[in-house]
Amino acid sequence: LWQASVGSTLKDTLLEWTTREKCTAGGTWKLAWNTTVNYRIDAPLAFSGSFRSAINDLFILYGTASTPLYAATQSAQCVLLVDDKEPR
């Protein structure tokens, strides 16, 4: 189960999630937060399923935010990239 607690932030939540997710190359995933935008978690959130599906479901919720954030994964390096610019 992937959870986001009230009072935490999106960045803090994703830092916790990436340190829990094992990388096929060894170690755990890393978070590259390439934006100054961060959102506070105002309601408890919980997602079941895989790491990637939880990230997908989480970012769908922020798609209509004042500054939308985008997530992309680089599987070979086990990096989750977050940016306020849509990936090209």
Parse the chain into domains and list their residue ranges. Answer: 2-83
pLDDT category of residue 63 using cuts at 50, 70 and 90: confident
Per-residue pLDDT tens over the stretch 5-41: 999 999 999 999 999 999 988 899 999 999 999 999 9
pLDDT above 90 (res 88): no
Question: Helix 51-61 and helix 10-20: axis angle, to 10°?
Answer: 170
The answer to whether residues 3 and 44 touch, using CB atoms and an 8 Å cutoff, is yes
Q: pLDDT class for 64, splitting at 50, 70, 90?
A: confident
Q: Which of 87, 82, 69, 75 is nearest to 50 (CA)?
A: 75
User: pLDDT category, 86, cuts 50, 70, 90?
Assistant: confident
Rounded to whole angstroms, the Cα distance separating 53 from 67 reads 22
